[in-house]
Every structure is written in C-alpha cells, then in structure tokens.
Amino acid sequence: MIQLIGFMVLLYGIQAACSNPGLAFLPLVTYLTDTLGFSATQLASFQLVVVLPWFIKPLWGLLVDGVPLFGHTFKSYLLICYGGIIVSFVMITSWSEPSAISLVALGLMISTGVAFSDVVADKLMVVEGQKQGNANILQASQWAGLGFTAIAMYGLGGWLAEHTPLSTVFLLSTIFPGIGFIAVLSFFPEQPNKTFTLGRSWQQFWQAAKQPNLKVMLGLILLLDISPTPVDYVYQRQILDFSNTLIGNLKAVECLGLGLGAIAFGILTQRFPKLPLLRLVIISGAISLLSLSFMQDVSSAYGVYLVRGFTVTLRTLGLFGLVVQICPQGAEGFTYALMVSVANLATNIGLLCGGQLYDWGISFAMVAIIGSLYILLCGGGISLIAVYSDKLRGF
C-alpha cells in the first residue's frame, strides 16, 4: 500500500514537472506574450491546441487496456513516454528564438507523452483502487504529488522566466522524466499480463456504455466544466502589473492549496464514506471561480489562489471519485480517460470563452462571477432533476 501510494505521488509529480503545469510554463507564457505579442484569446488558443493529446486520451486508454507492450500493461508504456518526453525537450533546446508553430509542434509531442503517462497512472489507480477499495486515497495521493511538485515548478519557473533563456529552461526540464525513467525501470514491480485483448476491452466498454450511469456522468462533466473562466495571466500582467516572479509565487500558493485540498479530500472520504460528492463538486466549483473576482492587489491575490487551489481540488477529486465507481473491469483506462478528456475539453472551452469575454471588454471580476453563477445555476438544475430521477441518486 505504501509503495503504491509512493508511485502515485511520483507519477503525478513528474507530470507537474513536465507540462502540467511544467517548469517551462511561465517562461513559455512570458515568451509568447512579451516576445511574440500574444493576446488573451491567442494565448488561450495556443494552450487549447497544445493540450489536444489530452482530448484523445481514450485512444491511449484503449491501448493500455487491450495491448500489453512486451507483456506489461504499465511499465513498458511509462518507459516509452518518459523517453519520448526527454527527446522532445532536447529538440526544443536547439532553437534560441522558436516560432509559435515550432513551439506548438514540439509542445504537442511533450503533451502526448505526459497525457499517455497520465492514462497509465490513472488506470493503475482505478484498478488497484477498485481492488482494495481505496481509490479516493490513491486519487488524493496523486493530486498531493501534483500540487506539491507544482509549487516548486511555479516558484522556480517564475524566476527562470526573468533570468534564464527559454532553451535553458527546456534543457533543465529533461531532469524530471529522466528520474521517472530510472525509477520505473528499477523499482516498478509488474507481472506480465495477457488477460485482456483490444477487442475484449472494447467490448467491456460498450457493455458499460449501455448503462445510464456512464451517459449521465459524461453529461455532468461537460455541463459543469464548460463554465466561462477568466485568463488570469493577462489580467495580472496588464492590469495589476505583477512580475513573473510574483505570478510564479501565486501559482505556488495555488498548488499549496491543491495539495492541502487533496489531503482534505482523502480525510473526508475516509471519515465520511457516504459523503455526497456531487454536492461537493458544485459548491467547491462555484467558490473556486467566485474567488477570482476578489483579486485586486498582491495581498488579496495570495488569499484568492490559496482558496482556489483548495476548492478546485475538492471539485476535481469529487467529480472523478464518481467516475471511478463506474469504470468497467478491463476498460478502466479507456473509460477514465474518456471522462478526463471531456473534462479537459470543456475546461479549455471555458477558458476560451472567458478570454473572449475579457477581450470584449467585460471585466476580469465579472467574467469570474458569470462563471460562478453558471455553475450554481447548473447545479440547481441538476439537484432538481435528481429529485425526480433515479439515475442521479447514485451520485
């Protein structure tokens, strides 16, 4: 159990170091806005394109479920992912002033490796969590690793954005997947698995798809995650005149909230096994967006980001705690990845909508309020439907 939790922390920590958010996140955003002159809408569009591999995670999940590589479900895929990420970062370092197109191309390669490794980590969490009945603890461990690693990435990334060339930042980023490669190769125990084939995994999923719970879950994720969300970086740089170092510190505080939220979620679900997760998702989601409307200066920004990190984590873990319950055996990777992909797509559309509203002249605070009201209205509608529908009572 302890070893499994340790691997959950490690696998998600590597994600945070590579591209979720990644050591290069703030240096890259700085380069795009200050050197290439990106607007809020262009920045949101760039982020949307680069994370496209996260939208096709079900494909990666189908491969992990039904195509054991060299007899292994997890180990071989992780080694390929981390090796590919290292090669991609090395390739980027050869350009001192890369164009937007080249950054998109290699960003897609890195994003693919991280997204695929995320699917492997999530399948491991679902399989072991369903087997041992501790999925919420494993999810909390993943997000604690993500949050606390991201603290260092944002803090260091903010400093690097102002003092170090972008190519050097990319080179430093190879350290983390290198650690993952060595750790998986040396310490990850896995017995060969030939139980499931691609056809059988696909069949398992379609049998589950006929059940109403899966369709309801897809609808809930899409509805709740598409809320308009303001693009905070542009507002902080252009209106509040925050430095990149300060923004990195704020993101680090947000990740502290994320880590604390993960710990709180693990404690809550252990002490209250029948905790109504859907209500937790709606309430914490609305609070996370509303908190952004209170960001007016440096002091308020620190409080806002701590609250936002904490509540976003409760919302996300609550939502995907529901997802774990409906994942069919043999198609865990595909089903969970499908739900995450829908969530990622909806979230990025929400950012795109928020960026467009801001470019149209609507204030940053008002965009945040609009997003919060949207979640509350949707939550109210869902609650009313739940009164008359058996399909939602399980949530």
Could you report the per-residue pLDDT of 93-150, keeping only the tens digit for each?
877 778 888 888 888 999 999 999 999 999 889 888 888 778 888 999 998 999 889 8
Q: Which residues does 289 contact at the CB level (< 8 Å), separation at least 6?
A: 227, 229, 368, 369, 371, 372, 375
41-65 pLDDT per residue, tens = 788 788 888 888 877 888 888 888 8
Instruction: Determine the pLDDT at residue 307.
Output: 96
List alpha helices for the chain, DSSP H: 2-18, 25-30, 40-50, 52-55, 57-66, 75-92, 100-132, 135-163, 166-172, 175-187, 198-209, 212-225, 232-238, 244-271, 277-290, 298-326, 332-359, 364-388
* pTM score, whole prediction: 0.78
Mean pLDDT of the region 161-188: 88
Q: How far apart are CA 150 and CA 309, in angstroms?
A: 11
C-alpha torsion sign, points 293, 296, 301, 307: negative
